[in-house]
């Protein structure tokens, strides 16, 4: 049986966004509690294109807060290397906020999840009624692979980028912990007032 306490969700953010998260949780851009000084690190063109994408439930993907099922995703590579006109962000300034699916359910947060990149035509959407089967739906071997270019598996990158999308603000009590690149980043989070577990794991970065 799937242990939802052991299936983790990862959202990347700039380290300077952490004080607002500690105060208000992880908030959506349209939330009344949103961070007015939010520092983005993603691909704005991709974010804009996703905003109007209609999911099978009739809602726009842009109204959800996206998470991955692992670290070291293709988008992180773009962020760290500065491809697609994305500004380069030093890994020390990138923090993973980590949740568990069990905590999401405990907090009664509305969600959907996919078996691949959410806007890819080959990806399917699932909800709470499917959550017990998530290990059979999401290809966790693909999700956790370090390299996504494989001439023998052209669908690998899509499956690696499976998503968990939460349709509301996420209270700070739902956050299990944080992953950072270095000891310096860990100390900075502690100075900001983070009390949760902070793990240093540079294997989650490029």
The predicted pLDDT at position 97 comes to 98
The ranges assigned to domains in the chain are 4-204
**What sign has the CA pseudo-torsion 105, 64, 133, 100?**
negative
Mean pLDDT of 162-169: 98
Q: Say which range, 37-46, 64-73, 138-147, has the weakest mean pLDDT.
A: 37-46
> CA-CA distance, 82 to 79, in Å (whole number)?
5
Q: How far apart are CA 131 and CA 116, in angstroms?
A: 15
The pLDDT > 90 percentage for the chain reads: 92
CA–CA separation, 90 and 136 (whole Å): 35
Mean pLDDT, range 184-198, rounded to an integer: 98
């Amino acid at each position: 049986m799937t242990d939802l306490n052991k299936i983790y969700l990862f959202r990347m953010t700039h380290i300077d966004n952490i004080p607002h998260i500690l105060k208000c949780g992880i908030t959506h851009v349209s939330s009344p509690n949103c961070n007015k000084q939010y520092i983005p690190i993603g691909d704005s063109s991709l974010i804009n294109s996703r905003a109007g994408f209609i999911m099978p439930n009739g809602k726009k993907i842009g109204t959800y807060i996206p998470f991955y099922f692992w670290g070291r995703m293709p988008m992180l590579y773009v962020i760290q290397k500065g491809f697609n006109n994305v500004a380069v962000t030093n890994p020390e300034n990138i923090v993973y906020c980590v949740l568990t699916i069990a905590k999401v359910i405990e907090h009664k947060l509305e969600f959907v999840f996919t078996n691949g990149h959410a806007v890819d035509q080959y990806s399917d959407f699932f909800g709470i009624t499917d959550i017990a089967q998530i290990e059979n739906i999401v290809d966790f071997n693909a999700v956790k692979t370090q390299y996504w270019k494989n001439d023998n598996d052209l669908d690998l990158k899509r499956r690696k980028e499976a998503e968990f999308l939460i349709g509301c603000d996420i209270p700070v009590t739902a956050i299990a912990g944080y992953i950072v690149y270095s000891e310096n980043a860990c100390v900075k989070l502690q100075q900001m007032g983070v009390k949760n577990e902070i793990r240093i794991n540079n294997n989650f970065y490029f």
